[in-house]
Amino acid sequence: MALDVSDMTPAEAQLAQLETEEDIQHVLARGAAGVSLRSVTKQYGQFTAVENLFLDIPPGSYCCLLGPSGCGKTTTLRMIAGHETITSGEIHIGDRRVNDLPPAKRNTAMMFQNYALFPHKTIWQNVEFGLRMRKVSADERKQRVGEILDLVGLSHTSDRKPDQLSGGQQQRIALARALVTRPQVLMLDEPLSALDENLRVRMRSELRNIQKQFGLTFIQVTHHVEEAFSLSDQIVVMDHGHIDQVATPSELFDKPASQFVAKFIGDNNIFVGKVVNAVAESDGLETIELEVEGFGRIFSRGHAVPVGQTAACSVRPDLLNIVSEATPPDAMLVNRLTARIVDVELTGYVTRVSMLAEATGQELLYKVRTVEWSRSGLSEGQVVTLGWSAADCVFLPY
């Protein structure tokens, strides 16, 4: 007997597409799966939302798609989930090519930004719904829903409706509903954006712990840099429909690959100039000299491009040092410039000090522990000398 989908929401009706035993077995498959994108492009008429994406997400990893609004990260997530068709290329989940499979047959689950809980159903019914559509037996539904509600600490809410829960509780119920179907890949679209800062931090920890406990592949969209760093095994930085860098959080923090990444991940001071020399070092990198207008030579480490080519380098604000102008430069702090303090912002443990370079007027940022800043005796309007090493200065070839 066919299911009557006339009074179902689109999401409910989509789940009801599972009609064959083969479909059910695919959806109930256990274990994490990796995700691979091969030359994936999405166009809307003449507009290209994402172009020629190549990406491998290992099974059982936590991957964050990070970037500003409009960079293509949500489109990418929706294509993996099957909620957007792709214009060209291939998407593989595990060993299956899923280009032509509907969402319900991809062994995935989606946790939406607005949680998409069914307001007319109880919490138990919300969590149970996917299992009911997959024709799981009543006894197994009871066991699995009970287990997952216990896991997220909300068994006591099972008879309530979503509007009777807090935002954080609603988020955990949406997560429970996604996990109870035992997907191989869980996708999360800005799941923490509606929460206040304290709850956001707590829920980050919960998400990571649940991901580790289940061993699933999590793919999350976020524009929040701190969130991506705290959650991820792998961060994919996107800009204008392209992938700029794929790296671990520590690699991304220490070695941004482009000017865009260096700016986006956190207040890096960037200097643009021309390559004038490069010396190979024993660690496989090169010490590169940039001629930067107004500053002279700035030394950085990385892999050089040809002499005469325009490039850049970046140094994190916490790696700058305020030094005595009388102290001659050495190998430890070979880069020097003078700057005027224009603003001091106490943010808690860290103080942000905004400066303007005396030679060029370029804005610079210096970060220091608040206790150290308090001891320095410095204040707005004073001119200081900043120094930093070539090893702390990352070469940015493009």
Residue 22 reports pLDDT greater than 50: no
Residue 30: which pLDDT band, with cuts at 50, 70 and 90?
Answer: low
Check residues 327 and 73 and name the one with the higher pLDDT: 73
Residue 252 reports pLDDT greater than 60: yes
Chain center to CA of 383: 37
Residue 259 reports pLDDT greater than 60: yes
Residue 134: which pLDDT band, with cuts at 50, 70 and 90?
Answer: confident
**Which residue type does 395 have?**
F
**Domain locations in the chain?**
10-254, 267-396
pLDDT tens-digit map of 142-178: 999 998 898 888 899 999 999 999 887 888 888 888 8
Sheet containing strand 383-388, edge to edge, reads 321-323, 383-388, 335-346, 350-357, 363-369
Task: Specify the residue for token string 């994919």.
Answer: 236
* Dmax (CA) of the chain: 88
pLDDT reported for residue 331: 65
Torsion of CA 206, 211, 212, 216, to 10 degrees: 170
pLDDT tens-digit map of 171-198: 888 888 888 888 999 999 988 776 777 7
Tell me the mean pLDDT in the region 288-314: 95
Residue 20 reports pLDDT greater than 80: no
Residue 14 reports pLDDT greater than 70: no
Q: What is the number of helices (H) and of strands (E) in the chain?
A: 11, 20
Among 9-18, 68-77, 201-210, 313-322, the minimum mean pLDDT is found in 9-18
Are residues 350 and 368 in contact, defined by beta-carbon separation less than 8 angstroms? Answer: yes
pLDDT reported for residue 170: 86
pLDDT tens-digit map of 219-238: 999 999 999 999 999 999 99
Alpha-carbon span 387 to 335, nearest angstrom: 5
Provide the percentage of residues in the chain whose pLDDT is more than 90: 68
Check residues 212 and 80 and name the one with the higher pLDDT: 80
Classify the phi-psi angles of 268: left when phi > 0, otherwise alpha if psi is within -120 to 50, otherwise beta: beta
Task: Specify the residue for token string 């559509």.
Answer: 133
Tell me the mean pLDDT in the region 350-367: 97
Q: Does domain 267-396 have CATH number 2.60.40.1080?
A: no
Question: What is the CATH architecture of 10-254?
Answer: 3-Layer(aba) Sandwich (3.40)
Residue 3 reports pLDDT greater than 90: no
* Cα–Cα–Cα angle for 372, 339, 362, rounded to 5 degrees: 120
Q: What sign does the CA torsion over 109, 115, 121, 124 have?
A: positive
Residue 65 reports pLDDT greater than 90: yes
pLDDT reported for residue 329: 67
Q: pTM, whole model, 2 decimals?
A: 0.84
pLDDT reported for residue 199: 76
Residue 10: which pLDDT band, with cuts at 50, 70 and 90?
Answer: very low
pLDDT reported for residue 24: 38
